[in-house]
Amino acid sequence: MQLRGPILGLSDPPPPRRVDACYEDPLSLVWRSCAEALGWRVERSAEVYASWDGRGTLRISDDAGMDADDSVAQLILHEICHALVEAPGGLLLPDWGLENVDSRHLVREFACHRLQAALADRVGLRRFFAPTTDWRPHYDALGADPLAADPLDDLGAEAARLARAALARARDPPWAAPLGSALTRTARIVAVVREIAPPDSTFAAPAAAAAPPLAGVAGGHIGAD
């Protein structure tokens, strides 16, 4: 039992408690740190779901605007994948230069999915890092190798080509070290929480076998311990 008000039997209540720390979701801290290592600022906002301003600030929805299976971690990874697909020019444009009002950039969204799955596979967390938009069925339908596509499927083949180019960028600075660290830390946290997670928790998804780590330059590895 924790008494939050005056203690019975004492004539004077204690002074108000000073709050000098705040609690944050551990995975939010991990991925905010990743974004900051890339030189990004991350802000929470009630005005957007996820939005990049082209000047270094990524705005992510506040908790009230998220679905039950949303997470800051997944949203930041998703936006990093967009950045890698659209780099270098898209980094200087609002929302990476993409529009979602029609299907003109759908192939680039699908490329982002393929890259996101490839990165998550390095720590066996493809399902945990699944995007939560209406395009989730595309992500779920990706094959064992998300960077491969049926050559007769023009849209899929182009998305796979863009994803492979983005993955090559991810192996290099400034991406490799922050991504590798965030993915590895996420896998460790998820492994601990999975043991006690209820069946309907995103943490309860069974781990898949991790794909081989992606070697980066200067000793950076994506998905290595």
> pLDDT by residue (tens digit) across 53-92?
999 999 999 999 999 999 999 999 999 999 999 999 999 9
pLDDT band of 216, cuts 50, 70, 90: very low
With tokens 């863009």, the residue in question is 162
pLDDT tops 80 at residue 117 = yes
Contact (CB, 8 A) for 11 and 53: no
Long-range Cβ contact pairs of 15-21 (< 8 A, separation 24 or more): none
> pLDDT by residue (tens digit) across 166-202?
999 999 999 999 999 999 999 999 999 999 999 999 9
Q: Determine the pLDDT at residue 181.
A: 97
pLDDT tops 80 at residue 148 = yes
> pLDDT by residue (tens digit) across 2-43?
655 555 556 678 889 999 999 999 999 999 999 999 999 999
Output phi, psi for 93, to 5 deg: -115, 145
